[in-house]
Amino acid sequence: MKLVAALVVSFAGLAAGPDKSAPQTGSAPASALPVIETFSRSARECAKCHAAESKTQPSTPMAHAAETTAECNVLKKHALMKTRLGRYDYRIERKGDQSLYSVSDGTETVTYPIRYAFGLGEAGQTYILEKGGEYYESFVSYYQAIDGLDITIGDQPLKPSSLVDAAGRHIGSHEIAMCFGCHTSNAVSGGRVVEKTLLPGITCEHCHGPTENHLLGLQKGDAELAEMKKLAGMSAEQSAQFCGECHRTWEYVAEHGPHSVGNVRFQPYRLTNSKCFDVDDVRISCTSCHNPHENVDRVAAHYDTKCGACHSGATETGGNAKAKICKVGTKDCATCHMPKTDLPGAHHQFTDHDIRIVAKNQPYPE
Ligand code: HEC
Ligand code: HEC
Ligand code: HEC
Ligand code: HEC
Ligand code: HEC
Ligand code: HEC
Ligand code: HEC
């Protein structure tokens, strides 16, 4: 409960700032979500005692939510990427450890160095450009499904009228702190991005908090000092708030939108809307279906026992007496009840966490 209370306070603390009503990939919501201050200790230091987590976590998409240009696999693998949108030609060219992003209208060309690549668990990757200490979000992104460039999600309505606008969207200091707060670690101090301490991606300490005292306490044999904040066994509501700090909470989406299929990416919102959701129940928490230290399991059968924890009819084994049993299917429950849903412009289908009976031709429940 303490954890949730702390999160609620930090949500309230950030209510001010420029608003953008429709958060989409690559165009971050600019208000209301907290910017998490983080710390920098590498997984290697935890491996000695927490072997399992330290082995798998560093290769998850979350750990790679951002990459430097030098380390970015997509940029390393593509010596040249190009596309034409309207009257503008876009090129991303590899030069040693760098990648240059340029846009031309046929007469003039502007070029920016790519500083960071954000994303690419599954869908796509957007580039953070920098010039003169100002940050820009690339107007085109890389998409895995087409192995090439297309407009960044959320930027479709923009009609660039100059070469500079066509290159990317300027990101103000508040918004860039939000982007880095969710995609990198140890990057935000006093509400500003501090690149000197930044670690790309989400580290152990980003979720678990600082470990200075943990390590010191273990060394001294002081159990109290060594104690970490408790994340295991969160209720459905607690996990929806905790993961929702980045994946967007129900409250956040309810207030800021999008109230359209655009919110299929925001699992805490979708799941909370489902009849399966019960705030106090651990069986429908994010961590009952997902291990945050491992890649998401893409085999439907993995989730059957999770559904069965409530929908088996076996109340004596902890099943929820109220939860009904399916007359249609006995396995791969999620394939019918958590439909893969196209997010327009994303070249990717997201899994709808609004678990429900999906009727044919039923409009998307927003
Ligand atoms: C010298 C061994 C050691 C090292 C190194 C170490 N830990 Fe621990 N950690 C422990 C022990 C022992 C516990 C208590 C285990 C228990 O009783 O559940 C613990 C508990 C934890 C817990 C709490 C688990 C829970 O559910 O309460 C977290 C989180 C954690 N460690 C994270 C880390 C991180 C992150 C690092 C790396 C920065 C790290 N630890 C390094 C030994 C270590
Ligand atoms: C500090 C921000 C942050 C927190 C907290 C967070 N996530 Fe994430 N998560 C991300 C980002 C950013 C991505 C996208 C990574 C990418 O695609 O590059 C992501 C991606 C994922 C993925 C998709 C992996 C894939 O294969 O595409 C899963 C599953 C996931 N998170 C689960 C969780 C769960 C469960 C929690 C809570 C225990 C959680 N996350 C908390 C930021 C966060
Ligand atoms: C409130 C936290 C938050 C902010 C702010 C944020 N992101 Fe994300 N981002 C996420 C999470 C969580 C995911 C994974 C779920 C998804 O795909 O929407 C994600 C996914 C992405 C992806 C798609 C990765 C993939 O392959 O699925 C890209 C690209 C991306 N973000 C870029 C950005 C950029 C650029 C900014 C800033 C302009 C930004 N994000 C701001 C949390 C955030
Ligand atoms: C995206 C957030 C996130 C990241 C990153 C993360 N953890 Fe965790 N960790 C959690 C959550 C949530 C739990 C509780 C899981 C549960 O309820 O089963 C947890 C549980 C643990 C536990 C306790 C396991 C137990 O049996 O209770 C340890 C130890 C741990 N993490 C270590 C690490 C280490 C080491 C790293 C980095 C290599 C790491 N975590 C990275 C979110 C995270
Ligand atoms: C009842 C089980 C269940 C619960 C609870 C659950 N998920 Fe999922 N999640 C799934 C399934 C099933 C998939 C899709 C796996 C696949 O592709 O086969 C998935 C996929 C994802 C992905 C990858 C992106 C996508 O759309 O495929 C993310 C991110 C994610 N979940 C986050 C969360 C978060 C955050 C929570 C808590 C609010 C949560 N999940 C709760 C079952 C669950
Ligand atoms: C925490 C317990 C719990 C879990 C876990 C759970 N459900 Fe439910 N579910 C319920 C309850 C309670 C209801 C409402 C009563 C009912 O219809 O059985 C419900 C309702 C449903 C409905 C009917 C919804 C409607 O639109 O009428 C479907 C379908 C469903 N669940 C499928 C699933 C699937 C598939 C999973 C796993 C991916 C799952 N549930 C996981 C508790 C749960
Ligand atoms: C082939 C698709 C499919 C699969 C697989 C499937 N279901 Fe269903 N399920 C349906 C349909 C369609 C309905 C609605 C039936 C109706 O309206 O009579 C339904 C209804 C339900 C209901 C509501 C029952 C009621 O009486 O209102 C629940 C709960 C449910 N399913 C859970 C599950 C669980 C748990 C699994 C996995 C063990 C599962 N389903 C597998 C298609 C499927």
Q: What is the tens place of the pLDDT at every residue in 150-195?
A: 999 999 888 899 999 999 999 999 999 999 999 999 999 899 999 8
Best of 277, 304, 310, 326 to mutate for ligand 7, by most ligand atoms within 8 A of CB? 326
- Find the radius of gyration of the CA atoms of the chain: 22
- Compute the distance between CA of residue 71 and CA of residue 322 in angstroms, rounded to an integer: 50
Q: 232 CB contacts (<8 Å, ≥6 apart)?
A: 287
Best of 310, 336, 362 to mutate for ligand 7, by most ligand atoms within 8 A of CB? 336
CB-based burial label for 83 (10 Å; 0-12, 13-18, 19+) = middle
At 266-291, the pLDDT tens digits run 999 999 999 999 999 999 999 999 99
**Is residue 198 predicted with pLDDT exceeding 50?**
yes
Q: Are residues 152 and 141 in contact, defined by beta-carbon separation less than 8 angstroms?
A: yes
Q: How far is the CA of 120 from the centre of ligand 3 (A)?
A: 9
293: Cβ below 6 Å to ligand 4? yes
Over residues 17-41, mean pLDDT: 41
Work out which ligand 6 atom sits closest to the CA atom of 288: 5
Best of 41, 57, 228 to mutate for ligand 1, by most ligand atoms within 8 A of CB? 228
- pLDDT value of residue 314: 62
Q: 148 CB contacts (<8 Å, ≥6 apart)?
A: 81, 83, 142
Q: Are residues 260 and 229 in contact, defined by beta-carbon separation less than 8 angstroms?
A: no
- Compute the distance between CA of residue 141 and CA of residue 138 in angstroms, rounded to an integer: 7
Q: How far is the CA of 330 from the centre of ligand 7 (A)?
A: 8
In terms of Cα–Cα distance, which of 174, 187, 164 is closest to 116?
187
At 50-73, the pLDDT tens digits run 999 999 999 999 999 999 999 999
Within 13 Å and on the Cβ side, how many CA atoms surround 293?
A: 14
- Residue whose CA is at the smallest distance from ligand 6 atom 26: 356
- Compute the distance between CA of residue 27 and CA of residue 16 in angstroms, rounded to an integer: 18
